[in-house]
Amino acid sequence: MTDPQDAAAAPRKPGRLGVGIVGAGRVGAVLGSALRAAGHAVVGASGISAESLERIDTLLPGIPVLEVRRVVELSELALLAVPDDALPGLVAGLAEVGAWQPGQLVVHTSGRYGTEVLAPARAAGAIPLAIHPAMTFTGTSLDLSRLEGTTFAVTAPGPVQPIGQALVVELGGEPVIIDERDRGLYHAGLAHGANHLVVLVAQAAQALQVAGIEDPGRALAPLLHAALDGALRAADGASDPIRTLTGPVVRGDAGTVVEHLSALTDLAAHHEASDTVDSYRALSRAATVRALSAGRIKDAQAQALLDVLNARQKEN
């Protein structure tokens, strides 16, 4: 194992930093590896679980595994890649033991927080940065190539923003400045899209499997890829993605929606899928409202759809 003092004292190119990874989870280990590939020296990483230790061994070979405080003390750039709920206590706890240093860059990867959560470190003279990659991580080397072109939300005091942007560019990403007050909305949008997409696929796959489709993922793939691609293209083109919507709602087919609800209610009764019925109702109502606003359906069609959806909800 590399001696931490040797790692900290190793010669580096001008402009390269000694990076410490606090939290070698799926995100921390990958970003640490990417920073190392960009020429920075990773001086230490913290990890407790077997999975984290394996990631350090695989993605950061030769890097010493150290206690969190020691990682921070050795770092010119401390990368905090811990769960959102753990971040405030971690920052405050390290401040209490005097681990933060003047001039040190402190970077966290939480989507939820901006830089206010780093106030205890800033009070000690550290430079706060928040960078959040809009990407799902596997915690493997596959993620390194996927960083290329990924959007990173950068939140930092004005004079420090260029440092955050430069770090993102070194990681291969595209920096976008997000104001502190908009951080929650930004993260909610990402979570609503990505996390709930996974839930929708799981629900749809279960319905198809019960209906007799042996390979539901294969059956869904062409349809979902086309729908997602069309919606994303519309969003990037400053158009309303709802204009790419197909299906019974934009056709005003209230009768089809009734049939869907009946089938899904039966599915729920026999296969513990009540969440699918709830999701179908909620998203169909949302689709109805947005389709009406976009001029895809008329008032009477929207009302018929909403009457069906609300009536079915009351019956249950």
Q: Are 260 and 203 contacting, i.e. CB atoms less than 8 angstroms apart?
A: no
Predicted local confidence at residue 1, as pLDDT: 38
Please tell me what DSSP assigns to residue 241.
G
φ, ψ for residue 105 (rounded to 5)?
-80, 130
In 10 A of CB 194, how many CB atoms? 12
d(CA 66, CA 78): 13
Q: What is the model's pTM?
A: 0.87
Domain ranges of the chain: 4-178, 185-315
Which pLDDT score is estimated for 315?
Answer: 47
Distance between alpha carbon 312 and the CA centroid of its chain, in Å? 34
Strands 77-80 and 41-46 turn out to be: unpaired
Structure tokens at 7: 């790692």
Task: Work out the angle between the directed axes of helices 26-37 and 161-170 (0-180°, nearest 10).
Answer: 90
What tokens does 45 get? Answer: 């990483």
Query: What Rg do the C-alpha atoms of the chain give, in angstroms?
Result: 24
- Taking only the tens place, the pLDDT of each residue in 141-170 is 999 999 999 999 999 999 999 999 999 999
Residues of the chain with confidence (pLDDT) below 50: 1-5, 7-10, 315-316
The confidence score (pLDDT) of residue 233 equals 94
What span, in angstroms and rounded, lies between the C-alpha atoms of 106 and 20? 10
Domain 4-178: give its CATH architecture: 3-Layer(aba) Sandwich (3.40)
How far apart CA 69 and CA 101 sit, in angstroms, is 12
